Amino acid sequence: MNIDNFELDLTGLAPVENAVQPVSTQLRKLQETYSEHAKLVFCFDVSGSMSSPVGGYDEATGDRISRMELVRKMAGQEIDARFKKYPASHVAVIRFGSHAETVFDEGRPEDVKPALDELNCHGHLAGGTDIMSSIRKAMTVCREHPSPVGVHHFVVVSDGGDGGTYVLPEWMPALKASGVVLDYIHVGDEDYHNEPLEKACKELHGEFVVVDSVAAFESRFIEAVNRPLMIEAGN
């Protein structure tokens, strides 16, 4: 055979029946399914200190921007992107301060902006920072409207300390059994540490991060929201 004139005719070539796809391909498809159908629950601190400015400037306007304004901007952007990618997305938004309230759950895309407009630092929740109340509320929301694949991704954003997180080790069995992935973003103090929360994020396949600039928050928020999700309940 003259290799220079060799042509491979694939016309009408059918795949081999019952063939198994490479594991990497199967995992990517499964990963996409989990990410599409997981429930994404945002928990946003609306205590008074969230009206303080973030370090740096908003690149779009060149102006200083408050922590709350930045949260509203990025939440609106990423929720909109999620609904465009996955029209049947499962999303909830919780605001918290002294206690927690749900402002959006399993609603229509056009209802997101009015819900985010309810995130302000001057209302009846502004008097404290109860992170655990937001996680408890997120669990309640997920019991009422669970993810069809059993994965519930909590993204918590706050600028305050909460000593009440010492109870997290007691909550871990229920959180793991509920397929919770936990991401926590702390806005402000560079040296902020919360050991129970840091451990919980690690065990629940998420991340605990501290940011002190607009750019850092935007980057970390996008990363958290789009985190690949594929866990088994109880792990």
In a domain, 10, yes or no: no
Nearest Cα to Cα of residue 41 among 96, 94, 84: 94
Please state, for a pLDDT cut of 90, what percent of the chain lies above it: 63
CB atoms within 10 A of CB 129: 23
The span from the CA of 161 to the CA of 130, in Å, is 8
The CATH number covering residue 182 comes to 3.40.50.410
Neighbours of 138 (CB within 10 A): 28
pTM of the model: 0.84
Residue 206 has a pLDDT of 96
Answer yes or no: is 11 within a domain: no
**Any long-range contacts for 59-67 (C-beta under 8 Å, 24+ apart)?**
59/214, 59/215, 65/214, 66/121, 67/159, 67/187, 67/188
Query: Cα dist. 217→60, 72, 76 in Å?
Result: 15, 12, 14
pLDDT at 233: 46
* 226: pLDDT strictly greater than 50: yes
| Model pLDDT, residue 3 | 47
Res 234 pLDDT > 90: no
H-helix or E-strand containing 143? helix 131-144
Query: Does pLDDT of 49 surpass 70?
Result: yes
- The predicted pLDDT at position 210 comes to 95
* Residue at 127: amino acid letter: G
**Residue 28 CB: number of other CB atoms within 10 A?**
14
Phi and psi, residue 84, nearest 5°: -70, -35
DSSP state of 85: H
Predicted confidence at residue 1, as pLDDT, reads: 45
Does residue 7 lie within any of the structural domains? no
Mean of per-residue pLDDT scores for the chain: 86
pLDDT at 146 over 90: yes
In this structure, the number of other CB atoms found within 10 A of the CB of residue 121 comes to: 19
- How many domains does the chain divide into? 1
Burial class (CB in 10 A: 0-12, 13-18, 19+), 61: exposed
pLDDT band at 126 (very low <50, low <70, confident <90, very high): low
**Structural domain range at position 192:** 41-225
Q: How far apart are CA 116 and CA 137, in angstroms?
A: 17
Q: Which residue has the higher pLDDT, 128 or 51?
A: 51
Q: What is the mean pLDDT of residues 78-93?
A: 96
In a domain, 214, yes or no: yes
**232: in domain:** no
What pLDDT is attached to residue 160?
A: 85
Q: Provide the H-helix boundaries in 86-130.
A: 112-116
